Amino acid sequence: MNRGPRGLYNPAHERDDCAGQGLDLTDEGACGVGMMFLPSDTGQRRDCEGLVERMAREEGARFLGWRGGRFRRR
């Protein structure tokens, strides 16, 4: 997990989106962001995602979802 500037991860339009989904992210200590590099192979990536999601549940965290990132192959 990573703790970063609140405004970077939770700008006003995203707070509205979250509120519409029943998520209250106003408590600064109540959420976190994880950043990782996953395999490019679809099957391996899904296995890793499933593992992370399961571990989050086992730790009592509510997993919200995945977001893709930009990358450049060399």
Dump pLDDT digits (tens) for 33-51. Answer: 788 899 989 999 999 999 9
**Among the residues of the chain, which ranges form H helices?**
6-9, 12-20, 42-58
Query: Using only C-alpha atoms, what is the Rg of the chain?
Result: 14
Which sign does the torsion angle of CA 2, 69, 64, 37 carry? negative
Predicted TM-score (pTM) of this structure: 0.63
pLDDT at position 70 is 73
Between the CA of residue 33 and those of 49, 62, 74, what are the distances in Å?
14, 12, 27
